[in-house]
Amino acid sequence: MHAVKFKVKRPYEIGDKIQFEKCGNKKVMDITDIISEMSARTGSIIFILELDGWYKLNTNLHDVKIK
């Protein structure tokens, strides 16, 4: 097993307000946690944002606007 270390500069901070559209409805929610996933093979990084303590938003799948 190999250890992988990575350092990421993320464009989001806990407490930021995020606006996004889902099914035509605009929602504004607070970021309560940020999960960084890195592929050891490709080195690609994905951010998963926890919004309002329960909703998980994959930033690769959704357009995210910081308010």
pLDDT of residue 21: 75
The domain spans of the chain are 17-66
With CA atoms as reference, report the closest residue to 17 among 31, 38, 2.
31
pLDDT tier at 39, thresholds 50, 70, 90: confident
Q: pLDDT category, 24, cuts 50, 70, 90?
A: confident
Residue 57 amino acid letter: L
Instruction: Report the SS3 class of residue 21.
Output: strand
Q: Would you state the pLDDT for residue 32?
A: 96
pLDDT at site 11: 83
| Among the listed residues 10, 23, 8, 7, the one whose alpha carbon sits nearest the alpha carbon of residue 62 | 23
Per-residue confidence (pLDDT) for residue 34, from 0 to 100:
92
Residue 9 confidence (pLDDT): 77
- Predicted pLDDT at 48: 92
C-alpha dihedral (35, 12, 21, 27), degrees to nearest 10: 100
Per-residue model confidence (pLDDT) at position 67? 67
